[in-house]
């Protein structure tokens, strides 16, 4: 749909809508709460500085022995990952309802033994900026901040070409550079609020990063997956050794086998201070970053059908990775 552009501030317009939005997410979660009432538990973990909710959809028994975290949308322009995670959630919940099986395991067994903690849009403010520009933000102070960043970075009309590449949150902090994993030694190249890369004044200072950190500390996950785009690659290393390295590499291979994405352990050429890095370095959790798609982000809608098919069984294989690991001890 098109956003009504009559509300113009300083000759600026809200940009044309594009992609899976925060409102789409809210609508879908409302539907899920009704049709999957006994399977998917939906809660709000936090509210962003611009007033948007960071939602969690949980599938599995509250007392399940094992727990997996899967999240998407930590970067604004990577909103196709949000749509993907929501579709995978519906598919998995439907399989439980229909008493289906996967590789000899019933979905009820998956439900009973492992809880999935699903955060489909960690950075809803960033997604909104990428899709509709800063004038779609709720608070004037946030609109002013984002426009100031745009002016400083040399944005020119048409504004859509600049804002569609926005990765940061509404503070101008790149949330996936805000975790305590070589954060102090990382030079982000900007050192001030920006559309991407700025690591923030301190590790974990953003509400979005802190929400993930506190949830991880509380739940002590067996596995985590961070969905990003693009590259069709699976990053699994942050210099871990021994048993943790073996488990993480095995996890990456399992997901690679079903998605066709290439496992990559060359972490030293990547920027540090991401969630996956922190989960491995500080929490010793086998953790992956899955980069969907092969084009530049934001990915074109035409790429979605193939991506959806590639990731169809990521939930199932993540649970199996835990179960198989237990049985092989």
**Which residues are the active-site residues?**
291
* Helix (H) or strand (E) run with residue 70 in it: strand 66-71
Residue 69 β-bridge partners? 117, 224
The string of DSSP letters for 183-203 reads TTT---S--S--SS----SST
Nearest partner of 288 among 326, 309, 262, judged by Cα: 262
Say if CB 198 and CB 168 are below 8 A apart.
yes
- In the chain, which ranges are continuous DSSP H helix? 22-35, 80-97, 107-113, 124-132, 140-152, 159-163, 207-219, 242-259, 275-281, 304-310, 314-327
Q: What is the DSSP letter of 16?
A: P
* Helix (H) or strand (E) run with residue 182 in it: none
| CA atoms of 45 and 119, how far apart (whole Å) | 9
Q: Is 209 helix (H, G, I), strand (E, B) or coil?
A: helix
| CA atoms of 15 and 4, how far apart (whole Å) | 9
Q: Give ∠ CA 33-37-39 in degrees, rounded to 5.
A: 110
| CA atoms of 130 and 77, how far apart (whole Å) | 5
Distances (CA, A) of 191 to 32, 106, 123, 200: 41, 50, 21, 8
* Helix (H) or strand (E) run with residue 288 in it: strand 287-292
The most distant pair of C-alpha atoms in the chain lies apart, rounded to whole Å, by 65
């Amino acid at each position: 749909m098109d956003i009504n552009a009559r509300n113009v501030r300083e000759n600026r317009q809200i940009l044309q809508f594009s992609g899976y939005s925060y409102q789409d997410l809210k609508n879908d979660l409302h539907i899920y709460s009704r049709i999957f009432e006994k399977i998917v538990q939906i809660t709000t973990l936090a509210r962003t500085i611009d007033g948007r909710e960071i939602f969690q959809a949980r599938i599995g028994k509250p007392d399940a022995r094992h727990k997996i975290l899967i999240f998407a949308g930590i970067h604004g322009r990577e909103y196709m990952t949000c749509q993907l995670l929501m579709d995978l959630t519906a598919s998995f919940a439907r399989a439980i309802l229909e008493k289906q099986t996967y590789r000899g395991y019933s979905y009820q067994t998956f439900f009973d033994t492992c809880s999935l903690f699903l955060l489909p849009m960690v950075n809803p403010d960033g997604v909104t900026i990428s899709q509709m520009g800063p004038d779609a933000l709720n608070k004037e102070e946030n609109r002013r901040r984002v426009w100031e960043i745009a002016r400083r970075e040399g944005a020119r009309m048409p504004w859509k070409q600049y804002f569609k590449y926005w990765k940061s949150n509404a503070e101008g902090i790149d949330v996936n550079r805000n975790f305590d994993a070589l954060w102090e030694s990382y030079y982000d190249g900007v050192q001030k609020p920006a559309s991407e890369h700025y690591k923030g004044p301190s590790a974990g200072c953003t509400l979005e990063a802190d929400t993930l950190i506190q949830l991880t500390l509380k739940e002590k996950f067996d596995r985590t997956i961070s969905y990003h785009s693009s590259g069709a690659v699976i990053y699994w290393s942050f210099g871990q050794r021994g048993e943790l390295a073996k488990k993480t590499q095995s996890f990456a291979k399992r997901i690679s086998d079903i998605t066709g994405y290439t496992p990559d352990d060359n972490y030293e050429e990547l920027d540090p201070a991401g969630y996956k890095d922190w989960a491995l370095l500080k929490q010793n959790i086998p953790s992956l970053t899955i980069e969907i798609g092969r084009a530049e982000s934001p990915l074109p809608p035409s790429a979605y059908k193939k991506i959806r098919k590639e990731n169809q069984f990521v939930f199932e294989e993540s649970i199996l990775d835990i179960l198989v690991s237990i049985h092989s001890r």
